[in-house]
Chain A
Amino acid sequence: MSKHNIRVTINGALHEAQVDSRLLLVHFLRDQLGLTGTHIGCDTTHCGACTVVVDLEPVKSCTMLAVQADGSAIITVEGLERDGQLHPLQEGFWHEHGLQCGFCTPGMLMTAYGLLGRTATPSEPEIRHAISGNLCRCTGYVNIVKSIQYAAARPR
């Protein structure tokens, strides 16, 4: 099995590491860097709990090799807060009760982050379309949509 030296910017900080070819991005983040905010849900590309933003696009980090991320800029849920201030999305999930058990939340947040980066004021159907690859087993979708609308209405 080949080993590779990779350079990845994660939440603004440059990381250099040697990884096995088969190491998945989600395991690199969680096990090698200790960034356990990114969750592993289904591990089969269905649930979206492992969503992180790679080069501005939200993707499922269980379905990407760490070595494929070489040279990219990644944002994980740990990168949303700034100097102790919650990101408007995090604030939205708090105000609008966008989480119950919280397991899907990091993925929902990062998918929403990707959406707001592309569409500043998405319509409700656009929000629902964007999060259609993220499952919430508490079925809290109504409040999740409201939480994203809360963030979209605030300066970022």
Chain B
Amino acid sequence: MIPAPFDYHAPASLADAIGLLQLHGDDAKVLSGGQSLLPLLKLRLASAVHLVDIGRIPGLEYLKEEGGYLKIGGRTRESVLERSDLIKTKYPILHDTAIVIADPLVRNRATVGGNLAHADPANDHPATMLALGAEVIATGRNGERTIAINRFFTGLFATALEPGEILTEIRIPIPPPRSGGAYVKLERKVGDFATAAAAAQLTLGANGAIERAGIGLTSAGPTPIKAVDAERFLIGTTPDRETIAEAARLAARAASPSPDRRGSVEYKREMARVLTARALTKAVERARGN
């Protein structure tokens, strides 16, 4: 399959890329790793008159802790996340996520920023970032602005990014001691989108009660879902089987999945419940180990 014709641009700087996006408006699309966009262009489910490849712009791929945040460059490939010792040891929820995105070959090109900016509710990073309370840095003509992740996903494949803005960084608050998180995904086979998946990130107080809870759901509606009722319920509780079961029930109630070959609405909602319970259980274990 061959994409419909387009003009390709490979700007060498962020300013040039933003200029091109402004010049071409809706006719332009940002090409990052291309692992979602190129298949869509080949299948002709998407079209672009201009592709602006941000792959030649230096300085957009990094992982670093700075100023109280883990900062992930927008063009950081999933394989970099997957192989990072910092991520493996300190942010296991991100390692859990990276290793189940598509397959290892795709992860050698797919980027974290692309996974978020594409805003497919079946993508894996959105739920994780919702659980972690991340922020997204959008860079445009007037410089940078910060968008809270819970305001980033505005609809199916739609985000709060303005035309002419590029997602340049993801910022995750460095979790305090006694924090832990996990991402658990049900997929039919490697490379498939999630039938259902849940991300959970918790911080426990010195007395063992939950101080902060973040829960995100994948493939659970037209946008990635933040399970706020479940999060609220957990605050102040000491996590055990019963509280986790109740939180998982509340999370599943926030899910409004659509039926497809992966399952019915009822099945997917039930899987959201089961996977939320598993993610919470693992998150508690990891938080107690920290």
| Residues of A bordering B, CB below 8 Å | 1-2, 4, 20-22, 24, 27, 43-46, 48, 51, 57-60, 62-65, 67-68, 70, 111, 114, 129-130, 132-134
B191 CB–A CB distance under 8 Å: yes
Chain B, residue nearest A111 (CB): B105
Selected contact of B5 from candidates A22, A57, A130, CB within 8 Å: A22
Contact A21–B38 (Cβ < 8 Å): no
Q: Are B105 and A21 closer than 8 Å at their CB atoms?
A: no
The CA of A130 and the CA of B190, in the complex, are separated in Å by: 11
> Do A65 and B108 form a contact, CB below 8 Å, given A132-B190, A133-B102?
no
Q: Are B43 and A65 in contact (CB under 8 A)?
A: no
Assess the B8–A67 pair: CB atoms within 8 A.
yes
Residues of B within 8 A of A68 (CB): 31, 34, 53, 55
- What class of interface size applies to chain B in its complex with A? 20 to 34
Q: A-side binding surface: helix, strand, loop or mixed?
A: mixed
Kindly state the separation between the CA atoms of A68 and B1 in the bound complex, as whole angstroms. 18
**A63 with B104, Cβ < 8 A, contacts A1-B7, A22-B2 known:** no
* In the complex, residue of chain B having the shortest beta-carbon distance to the beta carbon of A19: B8
Contact flags B47-75 to A (C-beta < 8 A → 1, else 0): 00001010100000000000000000000
Say whether B34 contacts A63, CB under 8 Å.
yes
Within the complex, the shortest CB–CB distance from A64 to chain B, in Å, comes to 7
| A4 contacts B8, C-beta separation under 8 Å | yes
Closest to B39 in A: A45
Interface pair B8/A45, CB less than 8 Å apart:
no
Choose one: A20, A65, A111, A132; the contact of B34 (CB below 8 Å): A65
CB neighbours (8 Å) of A70 from chain B are 10
The smallest C-beta distance from A110 to any residue of chain B, in angstroms, reads: 9
Judged by a CB distance under 8 angstroms, whether B109 is at the interface is yes
Give CA–CA (A60, B38) in the complex, Å: 11
The answer to whether A43 and B42 touch across the interface, beta carbons within 8 angstroms, is yes
Taking the closest CB of chain A, its distance from the CB of B52, in whole angstroms, is 12
14 A-B residue pairs with CB within 8 Å = A21-B5, A21-B7, A22-B2, A22-B4, A43-B42, A46-B191, A48-B105, A58-B105, A59-B108, A63-B109, A65-B38, A132-B103, A132-B191, A133-B102
Given the complex, which residues of A lie within 8 Å of B4, measured CB to CB? Answer: 22
Residues of B within 8 A of A48 (CB): 103, 105
One digit per residue, 1 when the CB lies within 8 angstroms of any chain A CB and 0 when it does not, for chain B 1-26 equals 11111111110000000000000000
CA distance A64 to B33 in the complex (A): 9
Chain B proximity of A21: nearest CB distance (Å)? 4
Given contacts A1-B7, A21-B5, 15 further A-B contacts (CB under 8 A): A1-B5, A21-B6, A21-B7, A22-B2, A22-B41, A44-B42, A46-B191, A58-B104, A59-B105, A63-B38, A64-B109, A129-B104, A130-B104, A133-B103, A133-B106
